[in-house]
Every structure is written in C-alpha cells, then in structure tokens.
A and B are shown apart, each in its own frame.
Chain A
Amino acid sequence: MKLLVSLNVNGQTYDLAVAPQRTLLEVLRENVRLTGTKCGCDDGDCGACTVLLDGVPVTSCLVLAVDGQDKAITTIEGLAVDGELHPLQQAFIDYGALQCGFCTPGLILAAKYLLEQNPNPTDEEIRFGLAGNLCRCTGYVQVLEAVAACRVNDGAAVQESK
C-alpha cells in the first residue's frame, strides 16, 4: 500500500507515492532520479549513501523514504549553485582527492557538515568527522589535504599539520 510523501530535495519538492519499505536512498535514485548518491553496502557501514537531512549527514540506506518528509534533503547534486562548485568540490578537484569517484559525493557532504560545525578543525577532528566514509582508492591523504584547505583561515594550518 503506497503512501504519499512530499520530499524536499535540494530545494525542490517531489510529490511521490512510495511503498513504506522503500529507503530514502532507493527513492532518491529511482524516483527522484538523482543518482549521485550511491549504494556501497546498503547496511550503513560505508557512507557512500550519505545525504544531508536538515544539514546533518545520514546514511540514506537506513532511512525510510517516508521518514524524509518534513526535512530539507541535500544530495551532492544540490551543492553547486548556478554551476559554481562549492569550495569543497573545487578543493577535491584541486588536491586530487578523488579517484574512482564512487565515495566522493558522500565524503563531500560529510565534510560540508564538519566544516559548518567547526570551520577550523584540526587534522584529528577532520578524521573523526569523516570516519564514516570509506574510500579504497585514495588512501585518504589528499582528502585530508582538500578538507584542510577549506578551513576558514585559508588552510594555513595545513602547513602545520604536514
């Protein structure tokens, strides 16, 4: 028996009829047709499905679509504004912080939340903030550099931590 939900995704409203057992991840990819959010394990262990709910990262594979009602959902597609990349997206490109790109959307969204809560995180705080996002390609070094470069003090702290 399908339920009517109204999902606010990247500022746009999608009125959908979804069965209650559909996860937010499935509905974003299949109904809203935004495939930037990925399924890496479907179990909440890898972070590839990370989206922001009211600005806070969640593993969307463990959120029922019906629970997305009344929340502002942000996916990777919602980060660039008018074609202008978010500073984190630009930093990931500049620092080579991506390789296959599959974990990248989730990682960038988790980093966005981290920097909004703590605009000047230490190296350790960055690591703790991103520990829920697995990456097998990069070895994380350039990811740390990219996020550090987005610190409020223009990454001066990056030199210290190196």
Chain B
Amino acid sequence: MTLQPFDYLEPKSLDEANAALGEYGSKAALLAGGTDLLVMMKSRIVNPKVVVNLKRIPGLGGIAAENGNIRLGTLTSFLTITNSTLIRARLPALAEAAGWLGSVQTRYQATVGGNQCRAAPSADSPPALIVLGAQVHLVGLEGARTVPLDEFFTGPGQTILAPGEILTEIRVPTPTSASGAAYLRHSVRPLMDLAIVNVAAAVVLDEEGRSFTDVRIALGAVAPTPMRAQKAEAALRGQAVDEHLLDQAAELAAGEAQPISDVRSSAEYRRAMVRLLTRRALDRALARANG
C-alpha cells in the first residue's frame, strides 16, 4: 500500500534528532536505510506521524580502528562493510553476516545500526556482532551510555532504547590473534530469504591453541531475540578442543534454542539446523583461530 502521510524532519545534528524524538515520542520513527521502516509502514505495522531522517547528521557513518576497538558508525551500510578491507581482515564473521543480507540493493541501503534497532529475531548481523563482543553506544536526552549488544534486545522488534535515544555507534574489540569467529545462516534460497536459523561462534584459544579460553555462541531466528547458547558455551570454555565435545556443544545449543514453527520453517527442522550450524560455525571459528 502507499505510505500514509507524515511530517518529515531532517535534523542536522544529533541534539536536534534527540530533541525531535523527545518531543514526538512514540509518534516518531527514525529513518536510516529505510529497508525495514518503509516496509513496515507500507504494511501498516507501524504508522509514525513524524519521520526523522538521520542521514543528514554528520559523523554517523564510517569504519575506524582506534584504541583497540573497531568502531562502526550507525549509518554504515552493509555494502560498505562487505567491501571494507579492515572488516574482511579483522572481523570476517561480520563480513560474512553482511554478505548474506539480501541483495546488493538491500546491502547498499540497509545500515548496521538499523539492523540492530529493528531487532528482528532472524536478523543477520546481531549474532555475529554479539559473539564479537560488540557494544552499542546510545545517545539520548539524558546523556550517553554504552551497553553490550547481547543486552540490547528485549523481544521481537523491541530493544532497551529509551524514548529519545539513538544508537550512534557499534564498537567491537579488536580480536586477538588467538581468536576466530564465523557466521553461518541457513535458508531455503541462500540469498533473499529471511534466515531460518543463523549461528555465530567466536573462540579464543590458549597459547598452544589446544583449549578454549573463551567461547561465545549466538543463535538467531530461534528465540524472541538473538540469544547466547550459554550451556553450549559453558561446556567448551576451559576445555581442550575435542571432536566429541564440539558435537556435544552443538547438541546443547540445539536444546537451548526456542524455535517456533512458522510460515518459513518448522520448530523441529530449526532445531536440527541449530545443531548442524553450531558445529560448522565452531569448526570454522577454530580454523580461523588456528590459521
């Protein structure tokens, strides 16, 4: 359906944007790439009276490495991420997640900040960013705060963003050389489908490269929000790398997942894919850690 009329604002600074959100509250929506917001507005799922376009605010884009962090401006497009030599070299799991996100058209328009704020359970980048230890920087009327990404999501389409708050940046600690991460997604059509299941895994190995000092596994599309497979992680953390254990971890992850049956897939199938993809993601993360 055609979009319903709305008032349109193009703030030139973050303060202006915060103020606009503060004034209009839930009647306002933030526009970044538009690939989610406009779709939802056309289906009448959301009906904002005011649309606030973030794209004229300087300083919200770009990728930079500083102070042991890789910083992604909220408006950074997924196309920029897939093309970035820095991301491909240091955060290949994120490049993977970005590369599978729809068509080239979608990747150009969609932003990494928008992908978090839309909080779709099957979104591609959240699981990858979560296992990479990402934090999000939120700027609101009361000030700014930084929150770990895996605490950001509260439900399907819901986040901890307070009224007036804007996600301005995502910060990922630069991975150490003994670590590796991977992202995998499963869908019927490899591109263009929403993920039926997605899994990201990050591992940090000890000096000899034979045991896990840390493991993070994030599952998408199998719970109301992207979730950490904590039992699976606990089974591996501190343990020696072992075939059997990896299988067990995959099994645990499958058990922890809370998949539903919907138009895209069945709960049973999703669970089976969690098991398969968790094992594969761990294998790939290990290969990167060792390589």
> C-beta contact mask, B89-125 vs A, less than 8 Å → 1, else 0?
0000000000000111110110000000000000000
Contact of B8 (CB < 8 Å), options: A3, A62, A128: A3
Task: Take A62-B38, A67-B55 as given contacts and tell me if A47 and B105 are in contact as well, using a CB distance cutoff of 8 Å.
Answer: yes
- Contact partners of A58 in chain B: CB under 8 A: 105, 108-109
26 contacts between A and B (CB under 8 A): A21-B3, A21-B6, A23-B3, A42-B1, A42-B42, A43-B42, A44-B35, A44-B38, A44-B39, A44-B106, A45-B192, A47-B105, A50-B105, A53-B108, A59-B35, A62-B38, A62-B109, A64-B8, A64-B38, A66-B8, A67-B55, A110-B105, A131-B191, A132-B103, A132-B106, A132-B191
- Pair B79/A59 contact, Cβ less than 8 Å: no
C-alpha gap A15/B159 in the complex (Å): 40
B53 proximal to A (CB < 8 A): yes
C-alpha gap A13/B7 in the complex (Å): 25
- Pair A64/B31 contact, Cβ less than 8 Å: yes
Q: Quote the shortest CB–CB distance from B45 to chain A (angstroms).
A: 12
- Contact partners of A19 in chain B: CB under 8 A: 5
Enumerate the 3 nearest inter-chain pairs by beta-carbon distance, A residue then B residue, closest first: A132-B103, A20-B8, A21-B3
Contact of A67 (CB < 8 Å), options: B1, B3, B34, B42: B34
- Pair A132/B3 contact, Cβ less than 8 Å: no
Query: 8 Å CB contacts to A: which residues of B27-52?
Result: 31, 34-35, 38-39, 42, 51
A129 proximal to B (CB < 8 A): yes
Chain A minimum-CB-distance residue to B51: A20
B67 proximal to A (CB < 8 A): no
Query: 8 Å CB contacts to B: which residues of A92-135?
Result: 110, 113-114, 128-129, 131-133
Q: How many residues of A contact B (CB 8 A)?
A: 33
C-alpha gap A129/B82 in the complex (Å): 13
Task: Take A21-B5, A62-B109 as given contacts and tell me if A47 and B38 are in contact as well, using a CB distance cutoff of 8 Å.
Answer: no
Contact of B105 (CB < 8 Å), options: A20, A43, A132: A132
Task: Take A23-B38, A43-B39 as given contacts and tell me if A59 and B6 are in contact as well, using a CB distance cutoff of 8 Å.
Answer: no
Q: Quote the shortest CB–CB distance from A35 to chain B (angstroms).
A: 17
C-alpha gap A89/B113 in the complex (Å): 37
Interface of A is mostly: mixed
- Contact partners of B109 in chain A: CB under 8 A: 58-59, 62-63
- Contact partners of A133 in chain B: CB under 8 A: 103
Chain B minimum-CB-distance residue to A132: B103
Chain B minimum-CB-distance residue to A49: B105
Q: Quote the shortest CB–CB distance from B93 to chain A (angstroms).
A: 19
A36 proximal to B (CB < 8 A): no
Task: Take A64-B31, A66-B8, A131-B192 as given contacts and tell me if A59 and B2 are in contact as well, using a CB distance cutoff of 8 Å.
Answer: no
C-alpha gap A78/B175 in the complex (Å): 46
C-alpha gap A100/B151 in the complex (Å): 50
- Contact partners of B55 in chain A: CB under 8 A: 67
Task: Take A19-B5, A43-B39, A131-B192 as given contacts and tell me if A64 and B105 are in contact as well, using a CB distance cutoff of 8 Å.
Answer: no
- Pair B34/A64 contact, Cβ less than 8 Å: yes
> C-beta contact mask, A1-44 vs B, less than 8 Å → 1, else 0?
10100000000000000011111001000000000000000111
Q: Quote the shortest CB–CB distance from B112 to chain A (angstroms).
A: 17
A157 proximal to B (CB < 8 A): no
Contact of B102 (CB < 8 Å), options: A61, A63, A67, A132: A132
- Contact partners of B104 in chain A: CB under 8 A: 57, 110, 113-114, 128-129, 131-132
Q: Quote the shortest CB–CB distance from B274 to chain A (angstroms).
A: 25
Query: 8 Å CB contacts to B: which residues of A51-74?
Result: 53, 56-59, 61-64, 66-67
Q: Quote the shortest CB–CB distance from A40 to chain B (angstroms).
A: 13
Contact of A128 (CB < 8 Å), options: B6, B31, B42, B191: B191
C-alpha gap A78/B285 in the complex (Å): 46
- Contact partners of A43 in chain B: CB under 8 A: 39, 42
Task: Take A128-B191, A131-B192 as given contacts and tell me if A57 and B105 are in contact as well, using a CB distance cutoff of 8 Å.
Answer: yes
> C-beta contact mask, B148-170 vs A, less than 8 Å → 1, else 0?
00000000000000000000000
